[in-house]
Amino acid sequence: MKSKKYKIGYTTGVYDLFHIGHLNLIKRAKELCDYLIVGVNTDELVQSYKGKTPIIPYEQRLEIVSAIKYVDEAIAQTDLDKLKAWHVLKFDALFQGDDWMGHPRYIKTEADLKTVNADMIFLPYTKDISTTILIEKIRK
């Protein structure tokens, strides 16, 4: 079997109200690496930067992500610092939706990852779907 571009890939997210956009990003990431680790943001982490708790509890979100066939390993993400994650996981590439391209946090992340020879890869964001959109539709 031919090896993919990256040996170990990493992507992260909240994955609240799991939808096709989440699946598309995970599937695209797996297409580019042999082993995909997916970090699921803990409730405490989400609360710290979004000021709200996810609708689906962390343990359930982790179980959902773990069950996806493209995911080799699902872990808790307790810190937004991806360089800290790299020191533990030693991934070759970090995959992120391209809706974050140009955001100051990811400009810094990309620079940080270059110092350890890891790539920052932006993947196409699935248009017209997000957990926020789903919540708004439910409220209507």
| 133: in domain | yes
Write the pLDDT tens digit of every residue in 50-91: 999 999 999 999 999 999 999 999 999 999 999 999 999 999
Residue 77 — φ and ψ, nearest 5°? Answer: -105, 115
What is the extent of the structural domain holding 87? 6-139
Q: What is the pLDDT of residue 135?
A: 65
Write the pLDDT tens digit of every residue in 113-140: 999 999 999 999 877 776 677 767 777 8
| 81: in domain | yes
Active site residue 127: no
State how many domains the chain has: 1
The CA distance from 5 to 15, in Å, is: 25
| 24: in domain | yes
The CA distance from 31 to 126, in Å, is: 16
| CB-based contact 120:101 (threshold 8 Å) | no
Tokens, residue 18:
């799991």
Q: What is the pLDDT of residue 1?
A: 47
Q: How confident is the model at residue 3 (pLDDT cuts 50, 70, 90)?
A: low
| 42: in domain | yes
| 19: in domain | yes
Give the domain CATH number at 99.
Answer: 3.40.50.620
Residue of 5, 7, 50, 108 marked active site: 50
Residue of 52, 90, 108, 114 marked active site: 52
Q: What is the pLDDT of residue 128?
A: 76
Active site residue 5: no
Q: pTM, whole model, 2 decimals?
A: 0.90
| 1: in domain | no
| 12: in domain | yes
| 130: in domain | yes
DSSP letters of 104-120?
Answer: HHHHHHHHHHHTTT-EE
